[in-house]
Amino acid sequence: MSQADAPPSLLGRAIDPRAALQADLTERSDSLLVARHAFPHALLLTGSEGSGLSGLAGALAAGLLCDQPAANGGACGECSACRLLAAGNHPDLLWLSPAEADEPAGRKASVQIRVEAVRQLIATLALSPHHGAMRVSIIQPAEAMNPATANALLKVLEEPPPGNVLLLISHRPMRLLPTIRSRCLQVRVVATDAAAAPAEGVEAELAAFLRDPAPDTLARASWPAQRALIDALARGERIGVPAASRISGLGLAAALDVLSRWVHDLARVRAGGQPRFLPSRAAELARVAAHADLQGLLQMGRRLAEWQRHAGHPLIAGLTVADILLEYRAELFPPARTAA
């Protein structure tokens, strides 16, 4: 596929191979590029807004595509590949994002990466790179893929054609399908200013829950409803399913995020470990875990992974959350052990 007939969303992004990164990102980039012969086929770059993920992805792409990389694997900034990158004309850099508005064509901006765009990407990956031996595809933001789009990408993400590297950028990685996350090597980046100012109180609880020191506005808006669901789950077998499923502002994806982390931490506590996502709820988790059925706990973990694959479907959230909570109560607290 030539640049002329390639979809506009894939080509035309300029990268400055000489752009300076902050020290911690430079260290990350160097550690990955110095072993470019063993560079992972799929990398998931995660971090909060302002953590520099786009810059890191650009530096990695420039280093991988450079004709004469430096000793640390970084781009030289002078070769023909680097000049093509700087001009936004490198044929082996593909950058997939939601479609931008096109007023002459009457097209509005999209908030999703559509399945047609991923199919065009997959078709391009089947061809040999144009300039050198490597092609780099960047998907940003990866959480903009809807379930159909993500499922279309799974096979090529697991086993890309030779000479292809995929870089996924995500500020909300838990919104990705578990199967997407499992097929990538994840690199977590923490914004320097966020690391310097630890959160406190409710903000600290949210930061631990998301494993993100600087939760974005959307995460903060969802947290009161999610926290209310955690309070309901902490009641153990006495959880009031109707009330919990009707928590104001609780959507299906947010509920699944809570349940997945809650069940994960229950399993860790049941095995004698410490909670990973809800350390401030250790006592409540221990109390619930002591009465939870172990096989039911493991089964619920598997079922939640299945539910998360469909979190973006247009379901009736309240009724669906109620069904999931009923299943949770039945699996963890079988009727014979649950008080009437």
Summarised one tens digit per residue, pLDDT across range 208-262 is 887 766 676 777 888 999 999 999 999 999 999 999 999 998 888 889 889 999 9
Does this model's pTM top 0.75? My answer is no
Q: Is 313 exposed, middle or buried (0-12, 13-18, 19+ CB in 10 A)?
A: exposed
Looking at the chain, the whole-number percentage of residues with pLDDT higher than 70 is 85
Q: Can you tell me whether residue 305 is helix, strand or coil?
A: helix
Reported as a pLDDT band with limits 50, 70 and 90, residue 102 is: low
Asked if 94 contacts 144 with a C-beta cutoff of 8 angstroms, the reply is no
Rounded-to-integer distance, Cα 120 and Cα 136, Å: 15
Q: What is the mean pLDDT of residues 197-201?
A: 52
Asked if 206 contacts 221 with a C-beta cutoff of 8 angstroms, the reply is no
Contacts of 86 (CB under 8 A, 6+ apart): 14, 15, 16, 17
Contacts of 143 (CB under 8 A, 6+ apart): 170, 171, 172, 173, 175, 176
Reported as a pLDDT band with limits 50, 70 and 90, residue 4 is: very low
Tell whether the model's pLDDT for residue 57 goes beyond 90. Answer: yes
Summarised one tens digit per residue, pLDDT across range 249-300 is 888 888 988 999 999 999 999 999 999 989 999 999 999 999 999 999 999 9
All structural domains of the chain, each given as residue ranges with its CATH number in brackets, are 23-196 (3.40.50.300), 201-337 (no CATH)
Q: What is the mean pLDDT of residues 116-121?
A: 90
Summarised one tens digit per residue, pLDDT across range 144-193 is 888 888 888 988 888 888 899 999 999 888 778 878 888 888 888 876 55
